[in-house]
Amino acid sequence: MLRKVMRRGDFAVLIENVKGYPGWRVVGNIFYNQEAVKLALGVERLEEVGERLVGFAWRAPPKTLAEKLRSVSKLFELGRYTPKRVSRAVFTDNVVEKPIVRKVVPAFRQYPREPAPYLTYPLVIVKHPDSGVYTMSVYRVMVRDDGLVLHWQLHKRGQAAYRAWVENGADEMPAAIAISTDPATLLAGAFPVPYPIDKYLFAGILRGSPLPIYRLDNGVEVPANAEVVIEGFVTRRLVEEGPFGDHWGYYDKPVRRFPLMRVERVYYRSEPIYYGTVVGLPALEDAVIGKAVERISLPILRTIMPEIVDINLPPYGLFQGIAIVSIRKMYPGHGKKVMLGLWGLGMLSLTKILVVVDHDVNVHDINQVLWAIAANVDPQRDVVIVPAAHTDELDPATPTPGYGSKLGIDATRKLPEEYGGREWPRLVEEDAGLDEDVLRALREIGLG
């Protein structure tokens, strides 16, 4: 049902009277389109959020006294978003000790061949053992009777924190899972924020106000406005996970084992709302979330690589599958320089196929992109294949999960150095200069 409604893209779903879970409600598709995301973040343009982020770090040095005072107040502004410890949290209304999670929480299966119910939009919370920096990320969680299986992929922060605990010799890592918080915090969980930026600070910036956090008995702090919280410890025991119907549109085979979290307790608010999403063949709710991340990231990306004009991660390109980026080209080889940069940058580094076009190609108009590829690419010169590279672990096409190849297509117009010393042909003009008689004649037949 969530899938059917989501493909319409115009409202969320609230399910009441959930069988077997008296008092619980299930909500889905809360990010049903970009307008819903903007409403949740209280902005008119999503890029505003990214601009707020870069505003802290990258600015010309202040020259005048007024500018200096303004930059000092900017630093205090950052303090306005740091998380705030509170002594009361709504989810402490009910506590179940040593629970079988599926008996308490209405986790569901998305597809018939999934072996167990899943938490599909949990915020998995762990603290790095050395720095104390928080990671709060959306990773699917398989619900078993003896614990929860945390599906953090190879390149993710949760995996890095876990590795650090294990390397430090710990038997277990304290962890928590928060379900159903405010929408900005939910989005922060899906946002690839580079370590060591604290995810709670980042959530505060997305929310526009500090995130209230509450300390659990295991020492982990969690968003105090969560409806449901699961407290426990991630063990060293690795178990099978999946197959799960993932966003590539396939059941991913259980290719790798993932750690089991033993659960100490589940907390939940009275009459709680459980938020679950459904992924699969595009375009579902995760596509809207991915697009929001793309828009918010653009100002950050442009600060790191100022030549970038725009980026499109098309939903049917599956986010890690295909990315199209436009650049203001300045020198020979510039298209390939941008490819190499992006293949080394955060989660964009997992992109399998990267297309670079000129600044005047609208990356969101696939026909314009196809034109640029068809007209500007000489495959021998402009196509790059990087063999044996890092890839998304779930990419079904790679022989080894997380390890495959990459394709880059430089569809920019070529400079003389790239074109045998010749000038690139001149683009045909649009009919800007139609004289008034022609325009009038077109108007008369309804084409004006």
Report if residue 376 touches ligand FMN, rule: CB under 6 A.
Answer: no
Among 225, 277, 312, 412, which residue sits at the site for ligand FMN (rule: CB under 6 A)? 277
Report if residue 116 touches ligand FMN, rule: CB under 6 A.
Answer: no
Instruction: Count interface residues toward ligand FMN (CB under 6 A).
Output: 20
Cα–Cα dist 190/392, whole Å? 16
Report if residue 279 touches ligand FMN, rule: CB under 6 A.
Answer: yes
| Residue whose entry in the numeric block shows the structure tokens 């008369």 | 444
Is residue 268 within 8 A of residue 93, CB to CB? The reply is: yes
For residue 96, the cross-strand partners are 266
Report if residue 138 touches ligand FMN, rule: CB under 6 A.
Answer: yes
For residue 268, the cross-strand partners are 94, 228
At its nearest, how many Å lie between ligand FMN and the CB of residue 110?
11
Report if residue 190 touches ligand FMN, rule: CB under 6 A.
Answer: yes
Decide: helix, strand or coil at residue 93. Answer: helix
Eight-state DSSP code of residue 359:
T
At its nearest, how many Å lie between ligand FMN and the CB of residue 193?
6
Is residue 245 within 8 A of residue 279, CB to CB? The reply is: yes
Report if residue 140 touches ligand FMN, rule: CB under 6 A.
Answer: yes
At its nearest, how many Å lie between ligand FMN and the CB of residue 191?
6
Cα–Cα dist 107/121, whole Å? 10
- Which of 127/414 has CB closer to ligand FMN? 127
Contact map string, positions 337 to 366, toward ligand FMN, x by CB under 6 A: ----------x-------------------
Which of these segments, 95-103, 134-142, 170-178, 415-423, binds ligand FMN (CB under 6 A)?
A: 134-142
For residue 344, the tally of other CB atoms under 10 A from its CB is 10
Which of these segments, 133-141, 255-263, 329-337, 397-405, binds ligand FMN (CB under 6 A)?
A: 133-141
Is residue 174 within 8 A of residue 219, CB to CB? The reply is: yes
Phi, psi for residue 226 in degrees, rounded to 5: -70, 150
Q: What share of the chain is helix, strand, coil (3-state, %, to 5)?
A: 30, 25, 45
Contact map string, positions 63 to 92, toward ligand FMN, x by CB under 6 A: ------------------------------
At its nearest, how many Å lie between ligand FMN and the CB of residue 276?
9
Report if residue 225 touches ligand FMN, rule: CB under 6 A.
Answer: no
Report if residue 192 touches ligand FMN, rule: CB under 6 A.
Answer: yes
Eight-state DSSP code of residue 108:
B
For residue 5, the tally of other CB atoms under 10 A from its CB is 17
Contact map string, positions 150 to 189, toward ligand FMN, x by CB under 6 A: -xxx--xxx-------------------------------
Decide: helix, strand or coil at residue 444. Answer: helix
Q: Where are the alpha helices (DSSP H) in 100-239?
A: 101-104, 157-167, 183-189, 199-207
At its nearest, how many Å lie between ligand FMN and the CB of residue 159?
7
395 as an active site residue: the answer is no
Report if residue 110 touches ligand FMN, rule: CB under 6 A.
Answer: no
Among 110, 118, 123, 137, which residue sits at the site for ligand FMN (rule: CB under 6 A)? 137
Cα–Cα dist 192/297, whole Å? 9
Handedness of CA 159, 140, 205, 228 (dihedral sign): negative
At its nearest, how many Å lie between ligand FMN and the CB of residue 353?
19
At its nearest, how many Å lie between ligand FMN and the CB of residue 250?
14
Exactly one of 198, 246, 286, 392 is catalytic; which is it? 246
The string of DSSP codes covering 376-406 is: H--HHHHEEEEEEEE--TT-TTSSBTTEEEE
- Which of the residues are catalytic? 246
Residues at the interface with ligand FMN (CB under 6 A): 121, 135, 137-140, 151-153, 156-158, 190-192, 277, 279, 286, 289, 347
